[in-house]
Chains A and B, each alone.
Chain A
Amino acid sequence: MLKTLLYDGSWTGLMTIVFCSYEYKWQIATIQHNAQYIQSGLFVTTENIISDDDKAKRVLLGLEKKIGIQGIKELYYVFLSEIKHRELLILRSISYYFNSENKPNLNYANDDILQIKKIVRSVSREKHRLKAFVRFQKMKDGLYFANLEPDFNVLPLMVNFFKERFADQKWLIYDLKRHFGIYYDLDQVVEVQFSNTFNSDYIAFHLDDEELRYSYLWKHYFDSVNIKERKNTKLHVQSLPKRYWKYLNEKNLL
């Protein structure tokens, strides 16, 4: 009988599902986040899966032998893409991996794998872009603050980059779309959530006295380095997609 599985939306939860589906040889119709679950068809039974660290770990160990850390990383990127039906794609690929030899994740002629590579490319591209496009604003208390709304859930992929780079300043990067941020307190990075809704007036009010001047200097610099004889709007927009402009002070300040 076909099953609908409900889980907590976490990576550990998804790996637990992989474990159980092997253990009990389930036929799975859909996998859904339990907070978003809507009653489905008549001929399916639902099963609530409780995230289990040990089970997840066993799956990951097995996977590592088949496809290495790099292969697992790809699956994790697919997971963070939040693309519809990503759970089933991941589940299907894992079962293909477990049934094949010879680094099966490199079989670029397989449709699922091609799709994975494509998603990984999109997520990586956004991760790379956001490393570049995060614009910190200095606050009165010395905190460097940035907010953004990425298409994919890439914040978890950016922790190490910013921690290594800005080791001697406190910073906070907030995902307005998913309502959480990562905060570095000069020692470690923790996940944080604003209790009230995000308030841009509050931010503006608490900016460091020099913040606007540096912001304008940057904008000034940006305008000065343009060579008008070489203007190429198409390339400009392609490299700097418009949806990111609202976070870029060089594109915003008047």
Chain B
Amino acid sequence: MSDRIFKKLHILADAAKYDVSCSSSGSNRANKNKGIGNANQSGICHSYTEDGRCVSLLKILLTNHCIYDCAYCVSRKSNDIERAAFTVQEVVDLTINFYRRNYIEGLFLSSGIFKNADYTMERLVSIAKKLRLEHKFNGYIHLKTIPGSSDELVHEAGLYADRLSINLEIPTKEGLKLLAPDKSREEMILPMRYLKNEIIRTNEERKVIKSTPTFAPAGQSTQMIIGASGESDKHIILTAQHFYKKYHLKRVYYSGYVPISYDKRLPEIGTAVPMVRENRLYQSDWLMRFYGFKAEEIVNDTHPLLDLDIDPKLSWALRNQHAFPVDINKANYHTILRVPGIGVQSAKKIIMARRFGPLRIEHLQKLGVATNRAKYFITCLGFQQIYADKSGTNIKQYILAQSTSKYTKNNSQQLTLF
């Protein structure tokens, strides 16, 4: 092992760090015939960076050489930085040795585009193939699909990887044209469509023929950069919903733009990373994936921007007071889920516990309900809604005044989900 590898790891991990889609969940890969590793359905974070993000996978670029010049990207052709490239074997060795020491759940491999799309994609695929076939590696592998690579290579990638992704990066077509003139939205979407169809086809086939090989069992995901091209929250959330529906994406990630260049088209260096906004977008994403909300309920023409001072569920509730109060002892699960201050876990517990007798507000507190918020929206045994006649603005004032720690500005870098 040469010292050169330290240098490469430094350059190519540094360049990959802005990609947030790094979870290791969604795959159940068993360790067959005494190979190494398996994949855990819920994923495991092995460490946390000083910015508080989960370190689960060895996330690196194969190379930061790139023939393209996307303005928002550190690897862009016109950027004057040190370039490096791993060999196939180096990536394989790092992955296996990190994995055996229980540092990581697997590999997240992305790359700048060198020569052309297929040339790059071929190398990414050969790393995954080597890990799976030569090392009997069953840990998690996430490959970035290079836009413009051929269907055959994308297909092969799907055979060895758990997840594939193509980053949309810029949520609007116009924004993409402006900031990444070499890329076309169509070119990015084509492989997404191909992957969606392949995933459906192989799943159908597996139902009939057990031996059909798995194909990207953890599905595909994408990432959008937030705050680089002036898009609205409405645009982002509707785009996310569109991709969840049309392309069956498993996850859409939102990445607050970290200014990295003096390009006039982009926010200046030193502009704050829009972390609260990013967090609100994740909360909206949860509302769509786990709470049964439609994008249009969260943002629409009269409400195109997410509130930064309160979470999107509370915001929805205040705009829809006719839906409340909800009777905790009678309402169904989905209705209870929509009450601010009640999460998935506490909603489930409520449904279980009320079979033993009606619940009072003290019970709710014990079950983990944030009653300081929920009390404006519920009735239960011995508790009448005393604020029913108050306006949404009033209730918001009460809540903000009472829950100082959760909503204060200087503390709002990373908020919890509901």
Q: Which range contains the number of B residues in contact with the other chain?
A: 35 or more
Cα separation A137 to B103 with both chains bound (whole Å): 11
Q: Contact check, B349 vs A108: say whether CB atoms are below 8 A apart.
A: yes
The answer to whether A102 and B355 touch (CB under 8 A), given A136-B101, A138-B101, A220-B10, is yes
Write out the residue numbers on chain A whose beta carbons fall within 8 Å of the beta carbon of B30: 164
Q: Does B258 contact A (CB under 8 A)?
A: yes
Q: Does A132 contact B (CB under 8 A)?
A: yes
A: number of interface residues (CB 8 Å): 53
Q: Does A227 contact B (CB under 8 A)?
A: yes
Q: Contact check, A232 vs B414: say whether CB atoms are below 8 A apart.
A: yes
Q: Contact check, B258 vs A235: say whether CB atoms are below 8 A apart.
A: no
Q: Contact check, A214 vs B9: say whether CB atoms are below 8 A apart.
A: no
**A134, A210, A221: which contacts B58 (Cβ < 8 A)?**
A221
Q: Which of A22-30, A40-48, A62-70, A166-174 is found at the contact surface with chain B? A: A166-174
Q: Contact check, A225 vs B101: say whether CB atoms are below 8 A apart.
A: no
Q: What is the total of A-B residue contacts with beta carbons within 8 Å?
A: 153
Write out the residue numbers on chain A whose beta carbons fall within 8 Å of the beta carbon of B52: 230, 232, 234-236, 238-239
Q: Does A114 contact B (CB under 8 A)?
A: yes
Cα separation A166 to B414 with both chains bound (whole Å): 35
What is the distance, in angstroms, from B133's C-beta to the closest C-beta of chain A? 15
**A144, A164, A214, A240: which contacts B31 (Cβ < 8 A)?**
A164
The answer to whether A226 and B355 touch (CB under 8 A), given A114-B366, A136-B101, A232-B413, is no
Cα separation A225 to B51 with both chains bound (whole Å): 10
* B15 nearest in chain A by CB position: A224
Q: Contact check, B31 vs A239: say whether CB atoms are below 8 A apart.
A: no
The answer to whether A236 and B49 touch (CB under 8 A), given A138-B100, A218-B103, is yes
**B18, B45, B352, B355: which contacts A132 (Cβ < 8 A)?**
B45
What is the distance, in angstroms, from A144's C-beta to the closest C-beta of chain B? 7
What is the distance, in angstroms, from B57's C-beta to the closest C-beta of chain A? 10
**A164, A229, A234: which contacts B273 (Cβ < 8 A)?**
A229
B29-73 to A contact mask, C-beta < 8 Å, 1/0 = 011001111100000111111111111001100000000000000
Write out the residue numbers on chain B whose beta carbons fall within 8 Å of the beta carbon of A86: none
What is the distance, in angstroms, from B136's C-beta to the closest C-beta of chain A? 8
* A-B contact sample (18 more), CB < 8 A, given A108-B367, A235-B414, A239-B52: A106-B352, A109-B363, A135-B102, A136-B102, A138-B100, A167-B31, A217-B98, A222-B47, A225-B17, A225-B55, A226-B49, A227-B53, A230-B53, A230-B258, A232-B52, A235-B48, A235-B52, A250-B47
Mark B residues whose CB is within 8 Å of A: 1, 5-6, 9-10, 13-14, 16-18, 30-31, 34-38, 44-55, 58-59, 94, 97-98, 100-103, 136, 256, 258, 273, 275, 349, 352-353, 355-357, 359, 363, 366-367, 413-414
| A-B contacts, 11 listed (Cβ < 8 Å) | A108-B363, A135-B102, A136-B101, A166-B37, A167-B36, A217-B6, A217-B98, A225-B17, A236-B48, A236-B51, A239-B48
